[in-house]
Amino acid sequence: MRTDELDYDLPESRIARSPAPERDAARLLVVSRSDPHRLEHRIVRDLPEILGADDILVFNTTRVIPARFQGRNLATGGRVQGLYLGPADEPGCWRVLLKMRRHRPGLRIGLHHPDRPDAVVELELVERQSEDGQWIVRVVGAMSDDEALERVGLPPLPPYILAARRRSGEVVDRIEDVHRYQTVYAHDRGSVAAPTAGLHFTPELLDRLRTAGVGEAQVTLHVGRGTFLPVETAVLEEHPMHSERCVIDQPTLDFLTSASDAGRRVIPVGTTSCRAIESFAGRGLAGEIETDILISPGYQWKLTDGLMTNFHQPRSTLLAMVAALFPEGMDRLREIYDAALAEEYRFLSFGDAMLVLP
């Protein structure tokens, strides 16, 4: 697939800088894989009236960690921004992505939280891992990763949201981001980005869906920084696909497989849930794996019948995945996105949602 087929014009005015006032008050564009004429404008809290007992929603229970940090170069006073990527092999060390002017092994940086000036974590640069700013750093002092990040970490909002807030003169870091960039059912820590379709659900909506007889299943896929990366190769299949850790237990995999065989409709909530179940489909064996699956038009779906998802960036692997649901591929998805833009839907992580039914 040519990458330029994933292009569309997204005005900055349609990029959501903050979520809807209430999670389930976000708009929901309902479309169908088999009926090109279906285009319904609803809201997320209408889901119990749209779905039924033949449907199963699959939720990603990953929990976003406060992975973004800021601080100062202790030698020069220069500003430092960064993202925690995970523990390094060496005890007491992290893998991080750093944005700073001057860096060398041995240099120390002091991290601080904007609302808690007394909370400080000191890092020492150990080894540069790549030209794009990946480093191994050592945490100075005895504390766990979780303790350090809870002390100074910030919600890892996508860079485009932070940049858009700065350009508009808005407050960049907001207290409410801690809760609104996390699903209400988040459990397993490990993501540096939220599974954004899940942000629309409330405990009350989940209860109403259960009352309506809608089935549910839970999987875990820890979202990595690769979710922010645009496709820069001319051909999509040449894009170096990022790998993410996902976990499904055997009862869940058996349930989804038997339900699908019985004709029930499996509808992942978000591309991450979709990526997880398609990675395990056909294996027959559950567990924990690293997946680098790339789903694009022409893909033969195994468990997925529909999808609830937000509106995605141009030239992204997520856009290619959604296009793969339609026989017409990007031609159909472009029509849907044009309709959403014309109706002033809000796009990207804090934006509105679409529900693709079979």
Per domain, the residue ranges of the chain are: 3-64+177-357, 68-152
Task: Select from 3.40.630.30, 3.40.1780.10, 1.10.645.10, 3.40.470.10 the CATH code of 3-64+177-357.
Answer: 3.40.1780.10
100, 109 in Cβ contact below 8 A?
yes
Question: What's the confidence (pLDDT) of residue 114?
Answer: 86
Q: Give dist(CA 159, CA 164) in Å, integer.
A: 9
User: What is the pTM (predicted TM-score) of this model?
Assistant: 0.94
For the residues 126-149, what does the mean pLDDT come to? Answer: 90
Q: Domain 68-152 class?
A: mainly beta
Q: Give dist(CA 223, CA 190) in Å, integer.
A: 7
Predicted confidence (pLDDT) at residue 117 exceeds the cutoff of 80: no
- Mean pLDDT score of the chain, rounded to an integer? 95
Predicted confidence (pLDDT) at residue 29 exceeds the cutoff of 90: yes
Predicted confidence (pLDDT) at residue 119 exceeds the cutoff of 90: no
Question: What's the confidence (pLDDT) of residue 228?
Answer: 67
Q: How does pLDDT run across 40-65, given as a tens digit for each residue?
A: 999 999 999 999 999 999 999 999 99
Number of residues that this document lists for the chain: 358
For the residues 110-136, what does the mean pLDDT come to? Answer: 89
Beta strands (DSSP E) in the chain are 27-32, 39-43, 55-60, 62-64, 68-73, 79-87, 93-99, 108-113, 116-128, 134-140, 188-191, 215-221, 244-248, 265-268, 287-291, 307-310, 353-357
User: Which of 179-188, 210-219, 224-233, 304-313 is the least confident region?
Assistant: 224-233
Q: How much helix, strand and coil, in percent to the nearest 5, is found in the chain?
A: 30, 30, 40
Predicted confidence (pLDDT) at residue 275 exceeds the cutoff of 90: yes
Predicted confidence (pLDDT) at residue 85 exceeds the cutoff of 90: yes
- Residue 187 burial class via C-beta count within 10 angstroms: exposed 0-12, middle 13-18, buried 19 and up: exposed
Question: What's the confidence (pLDDT) of residue 141?
Answer: 87
Q: What φ, ψ does residue 171 adopt, rounded to 5°? A: -65, 130
Q: How does pLDDT run across 165-186, given as a tens digit for each residue?
A: 999 999 999 999 999 999 999 9
- Count other Cβ atoms within 10 Å, centred on residue 344: 10
